């Protein structure tokens, strides 16, 4: 897909070069197929 449409505003956005950031307190509940597609960076508390 070359665009992503926001559900709230209904405006399409180009996805070329788009990055996503996700956060979690624990990796235990994240499915393995999702983790395989992520770069995990652990920040010490």
Give Rg (Cα) of the chain.
14
And the tokens for 28?
Answer: 């235990």
Confidence of residue 8 (pLDDT cuts 50, 70, 90): very high
Q: Token pair 């992503």 is at which residue? A: 4
Q: What are phi and psi of 13, to 5 degrees?
A: -120, 140
Q: Token pair 């897909």 is at which residue? A: 1
DSSP assignment letter at 35: H
pLDDT of residue 20: 87
Confidence of residue 42 (pLDDT cuts 50, 70, 90): very high
Q: Which residues contact 24 (CB under 8 A, 6 or more apart)?
A: 30
Domain with 8 in it? 1-45
Three-state secondary structure call for residue 34: helix
The number of folded domains in the chain is: 1
- Could you report the per-residue pLDDT of 15-29, keeping only the tens digit for each? 998 888 999 999 999
């Amino acid at each position: 897909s070359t665009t992503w449409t926001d559900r709230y505003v209904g405006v399409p956005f180009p996805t070329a070069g788009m990055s996503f950031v996700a956060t979690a307190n624990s990796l235990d509940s994240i499915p393995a197929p999702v983790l395989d597609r992520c770069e995990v960076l652990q920040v010490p508390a």
